[in-house]
Structure 1
């Protein structure tokens, strides 16, 4: 057993190191970034974690900044970026129409069309959506292209909802024919909707869309360039792949890492 004085000394050194690290971190300038609301495995709002969140957070730290994250529905995020003191908006595409400095793509979502199997709905292409009631994620019209916009404009009923757990409730209760969203988000939210609707009903998913790549929208092009450099460094170091494995491997259990 080591002498008590040595143990105390080590404890004090550890505490001093942690304090200095905290001070150094606090001294970093703040970068204010808006994210969407809770949508595991990409955004886990209560824990400030998730695949989307952590990639941006790690890149921001490499830039020498401290991330100040806020969470808001996508449609409101667009308004806030236009009118508020926000440095960047995550999970964006040029098709949004917002002006600014778009980063390289840092993440991709796999959006699908989900239906109840018992309905016998078959969707061979995006245009087939025109014949059904559809509930999509917010800003889907901005992100899924012109063919999608033209199709759902002909739909008998179309809505974009947030938070996305609403989609699960609408589909399983039979209130809409089709929901549009990322397959992993839909799978995760089944556990939250299970107390209200029968999520054990068989579903069918149609891969009508290619992977949707998202970028971070910055006000400052120089900040965008620093983010791109940090993103490349994350990939070169293997950190990016580690983050992917942390969250995507966890989907087999339907849980979100803490």
Structure 2
């Protein structure tokens, strides 16, 4: 009789039990399905945004999968919480595991984050000539964790992305035009007006020097043994070095032709003959 009464009690409680926990299970299922859907949406949106920004495909794939994983983890936690599972301890375990992994991969994660920032904000691009991380050269490749830089003497330098992003980046290629800064010294006996005219003629007739913006020629310094002029023409970025070499050569030839002295360091040696006894 007691067993029958117990069974009857369970039968009476069954509808309430099913109503309570059935609704929770249904809500958990809905949360899981909706959360999984939004995880896919987050992945597709991230992929689309980064692809439209012409981000490296490796970075696109990684970040898109990371977005999906983050949304999916929150979905699982919310689902478990809905069915009555204590998620506080689960969150603590996941947090501790994430902290341990983060500490173990601190350098790699820093390089990865820096690589993503480089690709997103493009302070430098493949093919640019830069000074970064104590290295000067042309960027050959930007990977997730490092950047490959080819120096002028054809050495390949692999620099960590964090070292580049945490320092100063000097990009010589990003601007269309570039100025050549020269200091030309002439002797104190030289005529200033004549010297400026000779320098201007060189710049006016040079094939690389741009008319807009105009060049600058000015007396900059009265030095110990020379009068120093600054000569600052503008050229197209790709013509910088050929223009610099050619302008210097033409200035030397033009000053020689105009008989304008270019001083150079020299030493006068005076020998005194001592009288013999």
TM-score, normalised with respect to structure 2: 0.19
* Structure showing greater Rg: 2
* Bigger RCO (CA 8 Å, 6+ sep): 1
TM-score, normalised with respect to structure 1: 0.20
